[in-house]
Structure 1
Amino acid sequence: MTREQAAKVAAFLVAGGIGFLVDAGLLWVGLNTLELSALAARAISFTAAMLTTWVLNRSLAFASQRDRARGHGSELALYGLATLFSGAINIGLYLVVIEALGRGGIYPFIALAAGVGAGLVSNFLLYNFVVFRGSATRP
């Protein structure tokens, strides 16, 4: 792995870590303060995390390979579709773990971590080779 690739992966992980904190914080609020269903709380926290990571990934991890001709709206739409694809795995696993363990105590956060972990590789590959492919696929 080159130094450039390692820096990209590190920036992706930092963006994801910040997104995870947004996700977990809003999940806690949704479940414990707003008393939402597990799915409703996760939908809100997931959406906020996606917007957070889009801003961070486009300006940090994938800044050098973004297709500058693509507008913000179309880039966000493509990012959203890629994230939803990986998010289906993420949220599906979250719901399976919630069903198995329950929603009390730390269990929602174990479910959250399992879902996030499952979507990590899919997200990186889709962002790197589809969403921000501007110069990544050029010789």
Structure 2
Amino acid sequence: MKPETDMIDETRIAVAVQFIRFGFVGVIGFIIDTAAVYGFRQSLGLYGAGLIAYLFAASATWLLNRIWTFRGQGTAPAHRQWALFLATNLVGFVLNRGTYAALVTFVPLAAAQPVIATAAGALAGMFANFSLSRRVVFR
């Protein structure tokens, strides 16, 4: 039997590995998010593009987190887990898109280069999304 401190260290390492994977998946989501904002901003405007881009990025990150970051965790069927992921990550959405909206509204450079607002929003929502994903979606 392992001493309790070894088990705590293993748990911390496992969480750190998950967080790093979650962050890597987040980078991929950021790329999808940014590409979609730039792709849709002419037809939908910056706010509409930001909303659609978030849905694309959130769906892609759910899938990647399901098959890689939290592989084998969570018992819900895929469609329910996806819906739970979107629902629980509304906190992250508010932080993410709130930051995005504030920057494109009040910072001319962010409106001209939405990648700045997208990056700031992604960072603002990342910690809440990781915690909720780990504790609610993929438990």
TM-score normalised by L of structure 2: 0.85
**Does 2:68 align with 1:49?**
no
Corresponding residue for 2:103?
97
> Which among 51, 72, 82 is matched to residue 78 of structure 2?
72
Q: CA deviation at 1:120?
A: 0.3
Q: CA deviation at 1:51?
A: 0.7
Structure 1 distance, partners of 2:72, 2:127, is 20
Post-superposition CA distance 1:40-65 (Å, at most 9, x none): 00011110001100110011111132
> Which among 5, 22, 29 is matched to residue 32 of structure 2?
22
> Which among 102, 106, 129 is matched to residue 123 of structure 1?
129
Q: How many residues align?
A: 127
Q: Percent identity?
A: 31
Structure 2: unaligned runs, 5 residues or longer = 1-8
Structure 1: unaligned runs, 5 residues or longer = 134-139
Structure 2 distance, partners of 1:35, 1:81, is 27
Q: Which amino acid aligns with 2:54?
A: F
* Larger Cα-atom Rg: 2
Structure 1 residue runs of 4+, over 3 Å off?
Answer: none
